[in-house]
Amino acid sequence: AYNFCAGPATLPESVLQQAREEMLDWRGTGMSVMEMSHRSDEFVEIAENAEQDLRELAGISDDYAVLFMQGGASSQFSAIPLNLLGDKSSADYVNTGIWSKKAIAEAKRFGDVQVVASAEASGFASIPDVADWQTNPDAAYLHYTPNETIGGLEFDFIPETGSVPLVADMSSTMLSRPMDFSRFGLIYAGAQKNIGPSGLVVVIVRKDLLGKARKEAPTMLNYQVIADNGSMYNTPATYSWYLAGLVFKWLKAQGGVEAMGRINERKARKLYDFIDTSDFYANPIEPRFRSWMNVPFTLADDALNGDFLKGADARGLLNLKGHRSVGGMRASIYNAMPEAGVDALIHYMAEFAKERG
Ligand code: PLP
pLDDT digits (tens, 9 = 90+) for 180-239: 999 999 999 999 999 999 999 999 999 999 999 999 999 999 999 999 999 999 999 999
5 inside domain: no
Domain-terminating residue out of 218, 234, 253: 253
Query: Are residue 160 and residue 37 in the same domain, yes or no?
Result: yes
Domain-terminating residue out of 253, 286, 311: 253
Query: Are residue 332 and residue 230 in the same domain, yes or no?
Result: no
pLDDT at 325 over 90: no
Tally of domains in the chain: 2
Domain-terminating residue out of 204, 231, 253: 253
Which residue among 26, 53, 92, 169 is the active-site one?
169
Query: Are residue 205 and residue 146 in the same domain, yes or no?
Result: yes
* Centre of ligand 1 from the C-alpha of residue 190, in Å: 6
3-state secondary structure string across the chain: CEECCCCCCCCCHHHHHHHHHHCCCCCCCCCCHHHCCCCCHHHHHHHHHHHHHHHHHHCCCCCEEEEEEECHHHHHHHHHHHHHCCCCCEEEEEECCHHHHHHHHHHCCCCEEEEEEECHHHCCCCCCCHHHCCCCCCCCCEEECCEECCCCEECCCCCCCCCCCEEEECCCCCCCCCCCHHHCCEEEEECCCCCCCCCEEEEEEEHHHCCCCCCCCCHHHCHHHHHHCCCCCCCCCHHHHHHHHHHHHHHHHCCHHHHHHHHHHHHHHHHHHHHHHCCCEECCCCHHHECCCEEEEEECCHHHHHHHHHHHHHCCEECCECCCCCCCEEEECCCCCCHHHHHHHHHHHHHHHHHHC
pLDDT digits (tens, 9 = 90+) for 253-280: 999 999 999 999 999 999 999 999 999 9
Q: Which whole number is the average pLDDT over 272-293?
A: 97
Q: Which whole number is the average pLDDT over 133-138?
A: 96
Which residue has the CA at smallest separation from atom 4 of ligand 1?
171
* Centre of ligand 1 from the C-alpha of residue 120, in Å: 20
pLDDT digits (tens, 9 = 90+) for 28-70: 999 999 999 999 999 999 999 999 999 999 999 999 999 999 9
117 inside domain: yes
* Catalytic site includes residue 132: no
8 inside domain: no
pLDDT at 86 over 90: yes
Identify the domain containing residue 327 by its residue range: 255-356
Q: What is the ipTM of this complex?
A: 0.99
Q: Ligand 1: which of 5, 68, 69, 74 to mutate, most ligand atoms within 8 Å of CB?
A: 74
> Does residue 97's CB lie within 6 angstroms of at least one atom of ligand 1?
no
Q: Which whole number is the average pLDDT over 19-36?
A: 97
pLDDT at residue number 293: 98
Ligand 1 atom closest to Cα of residue 74: 16
> Does residue 73's CB lie within 6 angstroms of at least one atom of ligand 1?
yes
* Catalytic site includes residue 99: yes
* Catalytic site includes residue 292: no
Q: Confirm whether pTM is higher than 0.90.
A: yes
